Chain A
Amino acid sequence: MIADFQEKYSNRHQIAGQWKKDGKKVFGYFCGYVPEELISAAGIIPVRVLGSLDTVSLADAHLQTFICAFARSCLDQGLKGVYDYLDGIVISKTCDITRKMLGIWAKNINIPFTAFIGAPSKRTESARDCLTEEFRDLRSKLEEFTGKKIDDDSINRSIEIYNNSRQLLNELYEMKKADNPPLSGSEFYQIVKTGFVTPKEEYNEMLSALKAKLASSKPSGDGKVRLMVSGSTFEDVNVLKMIEDVGGNVVADDLCIGSRYFRDLTQPASDPIRALADRYQMRITCPCKHPSDERLYRLIEEVKEYRVQGVISIVQKYCDTHLFEYPYMRDMLQKNDIPFLYLETEDRMGEEGQFKTRVQAFLEMMG
């Protein structure tokens, strides 16, 4: 079952190429603050732009050494033509790197449509009003691009599908509270990643089937140390596998490609654009938003709920917003007597090897 998810993810570019041959439109989006629901309601398949573990060769001519490896890898993939199937890209104002990425993509990669959502950071009423207007603008731009109106009904349908998807992920995540979670960390995040590149109806079917199967399975106790991973955009499942190999299991997360993505659902409202704006502005924050304390309070709570024994923070080198928050997070965990390991990822090339001894020592320390 997991193999299906794995396979879809590995073949994602070929699959998208096939969609194109079938006459479909595909958009890339850059982070968890882009309203996929709207893109999907326009009849366009949204896929998240992610990097790969390939050696970076072309991006170095465009980016200084001090730009995070994640953004570098994404751009490199784009420059290599891996994302040539994209009809458009949509970026929302989150970190400074992502914000500047738009122009570099626009200049160097031939993409017919680009849009930037000047998203506010705060959670106030006026911020939500503003985001509502930003989303309306995006809707108009999408309508202009496709030549078709996007009516409220289609947005509502899209919201329902996405809510469904997030709900299913929440249910799977919930299962990880068990003593012997039926999904390992590496399996779970593989599943989440596949969701970023699969049309949601299809993905929801996969998730439902998986859920049914897991409900009847009887996993045996794994005796592994229960861990949480926190950090910046992070898509290298190998690191999670390494953690499992040395006796840990990631049962909870504070990741942009994890629970921060699926935790919050959209609450239905008479104006679906407003409903989406509320969801995206009030969702669990990424450290790019302000104030971002809530993320850390929730982290502490979740450590308890998921009976997490230790937290591993994996931060991209040069990821300012996460780095600014690190000392605060460290102190907060210390105050709560939660063991904590900090790992900084730089080039993503076989780093699981370098991290292994440190994770081992961390697990030993916790006994």
Chain B
Amino acid sequence: MSEKKSAKAKRLKTAGKLGKLMEDYYTESAVVKAEKKPVAWLTSVAPVEVCYALDVFPLYPENYATMCSARKLSAEFCAEAEAKGFSPDLCSYALNSFGSIYLDKGPFMGKGLPEPDMLIATEHACLSMAKWWEVLARHYNVPLYVVDAALPIDEEVTSYQVKYFADQLRELVAFVEEHSGNKFDMDRFKEVLGYSDEASKLFTEVADLRKTIPSPVTPVEIFTNMFPLVTLAGKRESTEFYREFRDEIKALAEKKVPAVPNEKYRLLWDLFPVWYNLRLFSYMEEKGGVVVADVYATAFGGRIDISRPFEGLAERYVANPILTSGVPNLTELYKRLVKEFSVDGVVFHSNRSCRMASMGQYDIKQGIFDDLGVPGAIFETDFIDPRTYSDEQVKDTLDSLFEILEARK
């Protein structure tokens, strides 16, 4: 970690705990593997709760990719995947994952992730996930379960769409039981869902506290603190962590302690951070631009109706607002965030790896400007592979947004 980041990390007490949670998690993964206990690899927005309920250790190649990127390993990994014939245009999360496997290298103990005993993928965030997991299944020759979703776009979720997902969750339970040898227990499942729901609720509370002017929390603190939300969803530790995080931010908000001293412009951030260059946020902050809302965190989590465990969990996934919206509804969603968080400008990170999430940004930017007069700027780069990154170009784009904002104040 850079000095700057650790200096910033000290601002919050919970920051140190996060580091420990991450370290413990990866250490445990190695221990679990050594003890021959079952390990599953999951895509993001996959029902990890089933794994925790069945004592299967879940690993996330996507989260792992962000860490490889932060440790400057991604360029090498992506290049290795390309040498094997994978197009450089594919999602670099996937390329990073393949490269790390082929080279058996990574940020933890110098090795790649512990090998999976089973694979679990969703494909409602994007199809690349299912394709990527198919490659993994062939490589490791282990069973794969894809949780598929029939999604609406800009319409209400239907009962049969929920049913289809819920049916598969039941199948997934049977799949994990079969390949782990562990037995499913409904009470345990409900307990896990409870923790997951609670973590999600607490995280949303933190996000809402960013409505406070000045914002009590920085975007880097938000993004790095998403780790337990994604990875430890359903663990007591995750919920405890978020309770402390929420309390800490809440206290700061009540005292109106600014996370960034000279907050001048409040920004909405779409979507992924540039994982190898989180300093971009500091660059904006030096100019008084503070990201106070983002769409990325909104895409994870969501509440669960625990009284109907399978349907409740299915609803969380199938009704994900980011994944079920097209340009018209997304524009409305962003406009709502702009208003609720008193946003002055919108920064769009057009991520060449993620066509699914980036498509439509030009229309959304225009829509926000037309309806609310709030300007936006779009810069294009890759979120974890730095090989095509141009700091100058990105900063030029940000500067021109600041010029517009300056002229308006």
The interface of chain A, by Cβ under 8 A from chain B, is 61-67, 93, 95-97, 99-100, 102-104, 106-108, 116, 118-122, 126-127, 129-131, 133-134, 137, 287-288, 290-292, 317-318, 320-321, 323-328, 330, 344
- Looking at the assembled complex, report how far the CB atom of A76 sits from the nearest CB atom of chain B, in whole angstroms: 14
Question: Are the CB atoms of B153 and A324 closer together than 8 Å?
Answer: no
Having A100-B355, A121-B148, A321-B128, one finds 5 other A-B pairs with CB under 8 Å, namely A93-B150, A107-B367, A116-B152, A122-B146, A321-B131
What's the Cα separation between A162 and B111 when bound, in Å? 55
B3 close to A (CB within 8 Å)? no
B35 at the interface (CB under 8 A from A): no
> B128, B149, B361, B367: which contacts A324 (Cβ < 8 A)?
B128
Do B134 and A292 touch across chains, with their CB atoms under 8 A apart? yes
B93-117 with Cβ < 8 A to chain A? 94
A99 contact set on B, CB distance < 8 A = 153, 356
Main secondary structure of the interface of A (DSSP, over half): helix
Q: Is the CB of B355 within 8 A of A324?
A: no
**Chain A residues, Cβ within 8 Å of B329:** 103
Asked whether, in the complex, the Cβ of A108 is within 8 Å of the Cβ of B356, the reply is no
Q: Which residues of A contact B148 (CB under 8 A)?
A: 120-122, 127, 290
Q: Are A64 and B350 in contact (CB-based, < 8 A)?
A: yes
Do A106 and B359 touch (CB < 8 A)?
no
A103 touches B330 (CB 8 A): yes
A66 contacts B355, C-beta separation under 8 Å: yes
CB distance from B129 to the nearest CB of A (A): 10
Would B327 and A107 count as touching, CB distance under 8 A? yes
B208 at the A interface (CB under 8 A): no
Q: B146 contacts A67, CB within 8 Å?
A: no
For residues 143 through 176 of chain B, which have their beta carbon under 8 Å from a beta carbon of chain A? 146, 148-155, 158, 160-161, 163-164, 167-168
- The distance in angstroms between the C-alpha atoms of A327 and B128, with both chains bound, is 15
Give residues 214-271 of B contacting A (CB, 8 Å): none
Report if B135 contacts A (CB, 8 A). Answer: yes
CA distance A363 to B316 in the complex (A): 54
Q: Choose from B152, B163, B360 the contact partner of A104 (Cβ within 8 Å).
A: B360
Distance (whole angstroms) from the CB of A325 to the closest CB of chain B:
7
Pick the 6 closest A-B CB pairs, nearest first: A103-B326, A103-B327, A324-B131, A327-B85, A96-B356, A118-B150
A95 CB contacts on chain B under 8 angstroms: 127
Q: What are 25 A-B interface contacts by the 8 Å CB criterion? A: A63-B362, A66-B352, A96-B127, A97-B359, A103-B325, A103-B326, A104-B326, A104-B363, A106-B327, A107-B367, A116-B152, A116-B155, A126-B167, A127-B164, A129-B164, A290-B130, A317-B87, A317-B89, A320-B90, A320-B127, A320-B131, A324-B131, A324-B135, A326-B85, A327-B84
Known: A118-B161, A326-B87. A62 touches B127 (CB 8 A): no
Inter-subunit contact B91/A131 (CB<8 Å): no
Determine which of A116, A121, A330 lies in contact with B130 in the assembled complex, contact meaning CB atoms within 8 Å: A121
Instruction: Judge whether B359 and A104 touch: CB under 8 Å.
Output: yes
Contacts of A67 in B (CB 8 A): 355, 359
**Is B132 in contact with chain A by the CB < 8 A criterion?**
yes
Q: Please give me the residue from chain B that is nearest to A116 by CB atom.
A: B153
B170 to A: closest C-beta gap in Å: 10
How far in angstroms is the closest Cβ of chain B from A295? 12
